[in-house]
Structure 1
């Protein structure tokens, strides 16, 4: 089944701008529907409204907030100027950001999000998105874009981080339509062969070969670097345009407290990352 329904979480920050440019490219490639979602629940401005305030004061506060929301929608539509009108959609939600994005993501083929970032404007924490948590909560594939990235995830080189686990297998399946477009795909593992522990008669290299993917296998040396740093550095030096990996094979709480591959890559990757849980 082709990708026909793409969601992009857009909040006007640089990371979401990169995500939107990537989502527009995806829309054109698959002739898909593209929906922009601006989730902004619990803003500090609207929380200043008190029951005792005069009506005109309440209206003035809401006018300022609505103006900001309209500017974000206008920015979205400007970047999407080449998307056909019948394929372009916009949702403005005042629900809790993480919960809202994850809930909508469950209804889309893929969700595109900018890397987590903090606005340089005060009072904007209510629009911040943690894409790795959206991956965990939604159960759907999420593609994360670093701020400023403008390359294409198609017709390029992709790296698949493979450990044979459930999350990695899910990510591989979710990414297959994109992998089939790539010039080359490299399956990598850190500290062991990606084919270690393969089942008799079948392995991940053979699976991709059956999809007519130009696939190769690479074992990355285990050093004093973290696995996340090893993967990020390898993608950077090898010229990869997309990293595909499973998310949160360990619990998000554990990774958030002591660090982990998902958490660290979601914050430090230099290229788009497709994650699935």
Structure 2
């Protein structure tokens, strides 16, 4: 993972999530792009707003964007002092999920900070960004500034989402000295016609020269999220890898609400992929 981007809710200071992303980029000898997204005035306009209000809103948006662009040198200088090899700054206007999905087309990883003070910091909003980005996302908990990669846990249930998360995490897994597969058994497949070949996780990991130990998780779906976090804590994981299940396929968060629970309660960074 050489091209990492991090979404920041401010352009005058960098939160702990941005520090985490910078530390991760430095450890991976990669490039870091800070992204500030300003909401479009069109999304903020009340119906039938008079022309003067619309003009004032657009003028305020232009001023905010100019202020955000002015932070470019400060961001790149700060990141390179931390050890980031190359640092860039990007300002955009629009809805955050769609904007990050667009910029993500030329990045390998998106870092998000779970911060209730930010409009997108609540789990449902974070979940929307993770699902819309169509890329690997690391959600960093509040106050997490360092990105050690020595001990990792993989939440495993055999689903397509879990497979994609595992595949996305390969570059990071090669940095780990200890990897624990939190084995929750194989998730029942969706009802569909035909037959698809099963995924052999043991053979896949061996093929990539990744050695893991297994820790069974025997719990029903309703307690899956809590069980995953408890098991990750027991093994001292510094990063949790798991699939993200969302509204793109189900009427509510699937896997017994595990995605929602982990987004809300995790005290360690979580790499998610849907």
TM-score, normalisation: structure 2: 0.77
- Alpha-carbon shift at residue 81 of structure 1 (Å): 4.1
| Distance (Å, rounded) in 2 between the aligned partners of 1:250 and 1:99 | 16
| Distance (Å, rounded) in 1 between the aligned partners of 2:152 and 2:84 | 31
Show the counterpart of 1:21. 19
> Does 2:181 align with 1:184?
no
| Distance (Å, rounded) in 1 between the aligned partners of 2:84 and 2:3 | 15
> Does 2:219 align with 1:222?
yes
Given that 2:76 and 2:88 are in contact with CA atoms closer than 8 Å, whether structure 1 keeps it comes out as: no
SS of 1:113's equivalent? strand
- Alpha-carbon shift at residue 177 of structure 1 (Å): 0.9
Q: 1:225-263 deviations in whole A, cap 9, x for unaligned?
A: 611111112212321101101111774662359972122
Unaligned ranges ≥5, structure 1: 120-124
| Distance (Å, rounded) in 2 between the aligned partners of 1:17 and 1:64 | 22
| Distance (Å, rounded) in 1 between the aligned partners of 2:51 and 2:41 | 17
- CA distance 1:38–1:50, shift in 2 (3 Å): farther
Unaligned ranges ≥5, structure 2: 188-196
| Distance (Å, rounded) in 2 between the aligned partners of 1:141 and 1:59 | 34
- Alpha-carbon shift at residue 136 of structure 1 (Å): 1.6
- Let me know the Cα RMSD of the aligned residues: 3.9
Given that 1:10 and 1:17 are in contact with CA atoms closer than 8 Å, whether structure 2 keeps it comes out as: yes
Q: 1:208-238 deviations in whole A, cap 9, x for unaligned?
A: 2343333111102316961111111221232
Equivalences for residues 80-99 of structure 1 within 5 A: 80-82=79-81, 87-99=86-98
> Does 2:205 align with 1:211?
no
TM-score, normalisation: structure 1: 0.76
- Alpha-carbon shift at residue 84 of structure 1 (Å): 7.4
Given that 2:26 and 2:83 are in contact with CA atoms closer than 8 Å, whether structure 1 keeps it comes out as: no
| Distance (Å, rounded) in 2 between the aligned partners of 1:118 and 1:209 | 43
Show the counterpart of 1:52. 52
Equivalences for residues 27-106 of structure 1 within 5 A: 27-42=25-40, 51-52=51-52, 61=60, 65=64, 69=68, 76-77=75-76, 79-82=78-81, 87-106=86-105
| Distance (Å, rounded) in 2 between the aligned partners of 1:79 and 1:246 | 33
Show the counterpart of 2:190. none
| Distance (Å, rounded) in 2 between the aligned partners of 1:20 and 1:207 | 33
> Does 2:131 align with 1:136?
yes
